[in-house]
Structure 1
């Protein structure tokens, strides 16, 4: 095991033969989506790959999971969304509403709804039980890079390539707030009640009161685009990953830096794409270097 001031590297997992674009933690396992056209399942405690894997005809950029029905949902670069029952290992549905690459996919357990967003700015809302398409909304915002869900599922934040954050209520899916967040595109967002953290292509992390559309903090956080954010340690710690190959640990309150992890201190060799929160102190990161790394906060 390797220690830095704030993070301990618990494991490095290898197995994919292509860049890893997304990772989630569900049912005690990690699921990763890769350019090698496989979605694989891993045991985070042992670092071993399980015997569950999905082989696709196209690369997958994202995965989501509905625990009630044990359904893994996989978005691909041609717009297809595969719905796989992990118990029977059968594909239940292939959703073809999107005509362009699916860049964001997330599940809301409170509403039992999946949200998907594509390259051309279309948002789709799906019932997880039936996969009925509830609504399609065209935002004309370029790629929807992320769809962040509030703690109880009442709101979602749409991260657009046009740099605008759109907050929707999830009863009728009306836009209730809309504001320019980043100059060159919003890549990620995460709610903390009335606070919203955003990460942009401009390499900044911003902290907002989204209800007031008020910018509270604006931090030049990385050398290049911020790709993902996560809150840990009772939401006191913010984790960011970036195109600049680094992982950073921040004090969430004032976004002051606690730790920077690079390749030289056991980080990734290439772009770090996503974070999967395992518990309140552990998380996994994935990279174009084809590796999964599992970390623990140590202070």
Structure 2
């Protein structure tokens, strides 16, 4: 069985290839994507954690399973809070084919999905990108968004300012015009695309600060307890999701529903519906659009298929 580490996995997942691969995956029919399984893992000696199991497969093709271990207390132990593996099988025989770095699959497909959504929802002239967060996904967003919009200026904010400063230095070395910011409200008001890739449990982006024509991208939070924006963002926006599972799993969506600024009937569409032309994306330059993603095993499988095509010839 082929085994690829993070570097080898990333080498086969350029955004120039991955974004179109996700577009094809959402346009196609026939992929089986059950709801994710979530289980709590108790630990008498610590805070414990959770495991997510995310399968997807194409009959007669490939079967993929992502196993994600989330242990929030790991920071006190000097360890990352999240670990994941992606295992690929032959869907006709069950034969294991490859084990890929799950963190790399997740971070790159998440950034690619955000860029795919922005290709439908952000203004065509969107040039100013604000990134919230400094983690695996956040650091990929300028590269991904540049594939679909003419990004010329990037700002980065983090709850720990030193993290934003360090990431800004890293991006400058890559030739990106970037500035670390501390005034989040002002930065939100100036941006064309606001992309949140955090694990926040309290809202960071306020709807009152969104300028007309802004695209708000919420791709960090993925549980009912996590929120990256306030309910006013939903009141002012045309709202799209990666999959309808977000209506039950996203703290941002559930919070807006509880506060009366959003209801399921106001949902404008899913990423699949945008790709298939079943729902309209941005209609006017001045409207505010919002994309909420909680992650989808279809995206993981599409990424793994790219790796399999390069390494296994299938």
Using the size of structure 1 for normalisation, the TM-score is 0.33
- Higher relative contact order, chain-length normalized (CA < 8 Å, sep 6+): 2
> Larger C-alpha radius of gyration, 1 or 2?
2
Which protein is richer in helix relative to its size? 2
